[in-house]
Amino acid sequence: MASGALQALIFDVDGTLAETESAHLEAFNRAFAEQGMDWVWTDEMYLHLLDVSGGKERILRYWQQLDPALDAQAVQGQIDQIHACKTTIYENLVNSGRVSLRPGVLALIHEARQAGLKLAIATTTTPVNIAALLRGPLGEHWREHFAAIGDAATAPLKKPHPQVYLQVLAELDLPACQCLVIEDSSNGLRAATAAGLATLITTNRYTLHHDFGDALRVVPDLRQVTLAQLRDWQNSWRA
């Protein structure tokens, strides 16, 4: 086997495995209302807040925009409470069928597993959100599909920091040249690139305006993407 032969696919979650952001936005606004707050994030506001990785971090960023003198440590407990409420609401939205995998994702996962590739997840979202999303399409034992999972619980330094990708590479016990990342955002691309990983971008309406100059390829979704193509693209990138 060639030293750089493709051995693993690493998936981001939000915006990559599924179009989740509309559900996240609804969950944030419902959580604000349940917590007795008068905040309402519009679609345009959320588009800009997505430049910040992590739900708690977005809440803090917005709060600091409202109050530049805000003491972040003083409100951390309230942020945690808002985010916990939001996570419960989001999980219920997913379980009700409001969110599904993006086109081509499930087919590529099955093709990669049949070919003997390892699969992994590298995300800034929470373990609860990952489970809620994947339990439906992959079944109760969805975790068995993935050799490694890095998330907000294991990698507190959020993208564009490469921490989560470096953790996943270590857990996979593979060099970066034998792995390929599938992402949807510039922060995700920057994190993967900093870890030495080739990255395929699948755009969505929240990330079309991002700079993807360092991407391996940029495609609208995975419908027309095969494992053979990924191998060819990765070989070209390594060359």
Q: Tell me which residues are annotated as active site.
A: 12, 14
How far is it, in rounded angstroms, from Cα 72 to Cα 239?
46
How far is it, in rounded angstroms, from Cα 75 to Cα 77?
6
For 115, phi then psi, to 5°, come to -85, -5
Least Cα distance to 201 among 187, 179, 220 occurs for 220
Tokens of 189: 């691309």
* Side-chain-side CA neighbours of residue 144 (13 Å): 4
> Terminal CA-to-CA distance of the chain, rounded, Å?
17
DSSP string, 184-212: -SHHHHHHHHHTT-EEEEE--TTTTTS--
Beta pairing partners, 201: 183, 218
How far is it, in rounded angstroms, from Cα 199 to Cα 133?
22
